[in-house]
Amino acid sequence: MALATYTTLTERFQGIATLYSISGHLGWDQQVNLPPKGVELRAMQLEMLAGLAHDGITSPEIGDLISKVDAKKGELSSDELQNFKQLKRQWEQANKIPKELVEEFSRETTLAHEIWVDARKKQDFGAFASTLEKLIKLSKKQAELIAEPGQSHYDALIDYGFEQGATEAYYRKILGGVKEKIVPLVKKIVASGKVFDQSFLTNRDYDIDTQKRLGTSIVTDLGFDWEAGRLDIAVHPFCSGARGDIRITTRYMKNWPTGSLFGIIHEAGHGIYEQGLPLDQFGLPLGSAVSSAVHESQSRFWENIICRGKHFWKGQWRRLNDFYGENLSGVDFNKWYAAVNKVEPSFIRVEADECTYDLHILLRFELEADMFAGRLSVNDIPKAWNKKVADYLGLEVKNDSEGCLQDVHWSSALFGYFPSYSLGNIIAGQLWASMWKSNPKITDEIEAGNFKNVLAWLRENVHQHGQRYLRDELVKHATGKELTADDYVHYLTYKFGELYGV
C-alpha cells in the first residue's frame, strides 16, 4: 500500500497536469481554429493558467508533502520512487522560477506564434526579429535561474526542457559522428548519377480530401486510435494532448501529396506513443514520455523506418492505386519507392530525405548554440542561416520563409529542442535493429499490412514504461546495449546503398 502522503502528492500533481492539459488544448485551438483577433484573449487565458499551475506546484502544501515523502522514501516501491524522484525534480526547478516570469513566458510565446505566422507569410524575418530577441532574453533569464553551477544557458535549457542530462557537447559529439558518416554517403549517392523522377508528385493535382483519407487510413492500420484522437490542419504540423484526447495536425499541398502523408504518419507516431502511456499514471512521470528525443524516435520510426520502407510500400501499393488512380498513371512500384526516398538537398526540413535531414538539424543546433553563447545576434540570423544551408546542403536560400522562418519552434521559445530530432533518429535506428533481431519475419508482416507486432514491441519496450527509465536507460533496457549511432548509420547505409547502388 502506498504511503498516504505519496498518494496525496501524486493527486496534487495530477491536478496540476490537468491544468497543463487545458493549456495544451487552448494552444492546439490557437493553431487550428482561433480567429486572428482572438490572440490577445488567448494570451490572457494561457497566462492565467500558467500562473495557476505554477502556484500549484510551488505551494507550501507540495513542499510539505515532498519533505514528508522524502523522509520515508525507503518505504516506496521502485516505481513510486522513480515517480517521486522526477516529481521532486520538477518541484525544485519550478521553485527557482518566479510566477511573474512563467506568466510572461506564456503570454509572449502565445503572441509570438501569430507574429511568426504573419512574418512567414510575408517572407520577412524582420517582422519577427524583435519578438525572437525578446524570447531569447526571457529564455536566458530562465536559464540563469535554473542552471547548475558552471552550466551554460543553453545546456540548462536542454536539460530542463527536453533532454535530462544532455548537453551541447554531447550533441556536438553525437551529431558530428553522424555527419562524419552520412556526408560521404550523400556524396556517393550524388556521384552515382542516379536521378529519381518525382515529377508525377509535383506536376499533378492530388485531391486534398483524398490525401486526408489515405493518410488516416494508413495510420489507422498502424494503430492510431481515432476514438482517442483527431486530425486537423495547421501552418506547421504538430501533435498535442494527452490521455484519451490526442490532437494531430498536418498541412496539404495539391502538388506534393507525400508532404501531408508523411506529416500525418509522423504526428500519428507521436500520438501512438501518447496513447500507449499508462492511463492510471496520467500527470505523473510513469505516465509521461521520457524525453523529446524518445518522442521523436517514435514519430521518425513510423514515418521513415516503417512507412518509407520497401516492404511497407509493397504491401500498400494496391491501396495507393485505389486512392490515387489516374494520378499514378505511368508510375510503377519501383518509381514510387524511389521517388519517396529520393536523396536530394532541399530547403524545408520537414520534407527532407532521411540522408540530408540531420544536416538540417545540425545547422539549427549550431545557430542556437551561437545565439546563446553571444556569438550570433538576432539580426544576423538570416545571413548565418543561409550560409550554413549553402555550406551543408549546397543550396541558395531565396527567401526567409524557406529559410530561417520555416519552423515554428523559435516562436514557442523551444530553444534546445532541435537536436532531439536527430537523437530520435538514432534511437529509432537502434530500436529497429533490436526489433528485427527479435523477429526477422517482421518485414514480411509489414509487407502483409500487419503492424500488430511492431506496435506490440514498442508498447512493451518503450511506451508502457513512461519515465520508469531515463533516455539512455530505456534504450539499453529495450535493446540490450548502450545508446549509439551505429545502428542508425548502418540502416541508412544499407537502405540507400541498395537504392542507389553505392
Q: What cell numbers appear for 134 in the block? A: 525578446
Query: Looking at residue 302, what DSSP letter applies?
Result: I
CA distances from 356 to 177, 300, 401 (A): 14, 14, 19
267/246 Cα distance (integer angstroms) = 10
Q: How far is CA 29 from the centre of its chain?
A: 19
403 and 386 Cβ atoms separated by less than 8 Å: yes
267 is catalytic: yes
Q: Which helix (H) or strand (E) holds 500?
A: helix 486-500
Exposed e or buried b for every residue in 296-306, given b needs 16+ CB within 10 A?
A: bbbbbbbbbbb
261 and 210 Cβ atoms separated by less than 8 Å: no
Beta strands in 325-436 (DSSP E): none
Q: What cell numbers appear for 85 in the block? A: 524522484
Query: Looking at residue 321, what DSSP letter applies?
Result: H
351/421 Cα distance (integer angstroms) = 14
123 and 252 Cβ atoms separated by less than 8 Å: no
Query: Of the listed 80, 267, 296, 366, which one is catalytic?
Result: 267
Q: Which helix (H) or strand (E) holds 250?
A: strand 245-250
Cell numbers 531569447 correspond to 136
Q: Which residues have a Cβ under 8 Å from the Cβ of 56 and sit 6 or more positions away? A: 12, 15, 16, 19, 62
Cell numbers 530542463 correspond to 160
Kindly list the catalytic residues. 267
